[in-house]
Amino acid sequence: MTVRLPSLRRALCAALSFALAGASLAQDAPAAAPALTAVKAAHWIDAESGRMRGPVVVIVRGERIAEVRDGGAAPAGARLIDLGDATLLPGLIDVHVHLTSDPTTGTGNYYQDALTLGVVDDAVIAPTLAKRTLDAGFTTVRNVGAPGYVDVALRNAIDRGLIPGPRMLVATVPIGSTGGHADDDTGFSSDISFAGPSGVADGVDAVRARVREDVKRGADVIKFMASAGVLSNETSVGAPQYSQAEMDAIVDEAHRWGKKVAAHAHGAEAINMAIRAGVDSVEHCSFIDAEGLKLAKARGTYLDFDVYNDDYILAEYAKLGTPPAQIAKEKLVGRTQRENFRKAVQAGEKMAFATDAGVYPHGWNARQFAKMVEWGMTPMQAIQSATWNAADLLGWRDRVGAIKPGLYADLVAVKGDPLKDIRTLEHVDFVMKGGHVDKADGVAR
């Protein structure tokens, strides 16, 4: 959110170059990469088949995995990274984050944040949040909504190797109706209007135009608000915020451009409308009903439940001066969402790991795994939701999501057995992205 300023453009450019320069100075000078690296571990998770295996030697050439051997010695001449008794997993994937915001990096007050922080501040902080995410073992994220195309610039700088961060698919500006979950002006005086590119669009022609604008500015995926939300000032939490015709138009237009669609939806009716419109994933899914579960199953729609959020919002948001009406909405959503998560697991739905990090602190993404296990997933199902299955939702199974020849060498390692204690994933000791070691606590680089 940003208040309209004549010099916004210049200020934004300055902030971005400052952020990027600062981050690249902080990075290690790149060492000349040896032709081959061998990563050895006693155990590994085959995310595609859902099996724990081991021992393993993963042979990495450049950015990619060249070979996966069942133990044995590292090839002669390869740089050896011996992870000992650790468990090796594919780099983790979070399909729902917002790297331009974080509850711990603002002013500590809702209204002060709203009125004194803008897109420039978001751009400055984003590289730090990206680094926290990568250090936590998340080597790929889908950023489903950001102001002012900061996500595009962040993705591009990471891809160019200027700053460390996860691979990103970005949605740019989320699309929503007037007064809805994407309309930042709602709840403020009519004297106040937040500037910058807005995703607010009403009517089939306008929503199509907005999809085209997002694509033009660099979106990999389209995000729209099918229903009302929690952390926004409309009174409903789950009512549909678009007509069926508008949702149909968004999905039709996005797919025409080859972009997948993620729909934010808490309410049952909005969820069903979004699935009927043909979205690729529904985010939140709080009040999904039997009909929604049936429709999603039949159409292969991914259901992305952010089941950790409720704990953080209820513990912390009142202290941040969040409007009580928003916290009251959270109380309507939290428990039911978890119960419905369990039903979705039991129904065998397609599900991807989606935290909405940014609502809770970046780098804490993995805390959601324990919630998913508490509410019905096996540890392996939870891990697959953040690897092979997430890669399917992204359309990136040719790049990420498994330890497999040809895919990017995105690897993480933990001490101990995550199938026995899923919380081991909250402490990742080793992170490699595209063959580059980002983090190696207690193991040789």
**Chain contacts with ligand ARG (rule: CB under 6 A):** 229-232, 284, 306, 309-310, 313, 330, 333-334, 337, 356, 359
Residue (131 or 223) nearer to ligand ARG, CB: 223
- Work out the end-to-end distance of the chain between its first and last CA atoms, rounded to an integer number of angstroms: 41
**From the CB of residue 4, how many other CB atoms can be counted at a distance below 10 Å?**
11
Query: Residue 98 or 439: which CB sits closer to ligand ARG?
Result: 98
Q: How far is the CB of 129 from ligand ARG (least distance, A)?
A: 16
Pairing verdict, β 87-90 and 411-414: antiparallel
Q: Which is nearer to ligand ARG, 281 or 309 (CB)?
A: 309
As measured in angstroms, the least distance from the Cβ of 310 to ligand ARG is: 4
With 0-12 CB in 10 A as exposed, 13-18 as middle and 19+ as buried, what is 404? Answer: middle
The residue among 301 and 355 lying less far from ligand ARG, judged by its C-beta, is 355
CB of 443 to ligand ARG, least distance (A): 35
Between strands 281-284 and 260-265, the pairing is parallel
Q: Are the beta carbons of 100 and 151 closer than 8 angstroms?
A: yes
We find the least distance from the C-beta atom of residue 312 to ligand ARG, in angstroms, to be 9
Nearer to ligand ARG among residue 181 and residue 208 (C-beta): 181
* CA distances from residue 56 to 39, 69, 74, 134, 398 in whole angstroms, order as listed: 8, 6, 10, 23, 21
Which of 407, 279, 266 has its CA nearest to residue 337?
Answer: 266
Pick 165 or 267: Cβ nearer ligand ARG: 267
Minimum CB separation of residue 398 from ligand ARG in Å reads 30
Q: Is the peptide bond before 6 cis (omega within 30 degrees of 0)?
A: no
Burial 122-153 (b: 16+ CB within 10 A, else e): bbbbbbbbbbbbbbbbbbbbbbbbbbbbbbbb
**C-alpha span between 38 and 195 (Å, rounded):** 50
CB of 202 to ligand ARG, least distance (A): 20
CB-based burial label for 363 (10 Å; 0-12, 13-18, 19+): buried
Kindly state the smallest distance separating residue 214's Cβ from ligand ARG, in Å.
19
Nearer residue to ligand ARG within complex by CB, 135 or 289: 289
The residue (of 72 and 324) whose beta carbon lies closer to ligand ARG is 324
Calculate ∠ Cα 265-238-284, nearest 5°.
35
- Do the beta carbons of residue 136 and residue 275 sit within 8 Å? no
**CA 71, CA 284: separation in Å to the nearest integer?**
41
**Alpha-carbon gap, residue 432 to 430, rounded angstroms:** 7
Q: Which residue is nearest to ligand ARG (CB)?
A: 229
- Beta bridge partners of residue 432, listed in sequence order: 411, 437
Minimum CB distance to ligand ARG smaller for 232 or for 301: 232
Of 194 and 408, the one with the shorter C-beta distance to ligand ARG is 194
Q: How far is the CB of 345 from ligand ARG (least distance, A)?
A: 16
Question: Shortest Cβ distance from residue 396 to ligand ARG (Å)?
Answer: 24
CB of 342 to ligand ARG, least distance (A): 14
The DSSP 8-state label assigned to residue 173 in this structure reads S
The amino acid occupying position 175 is I
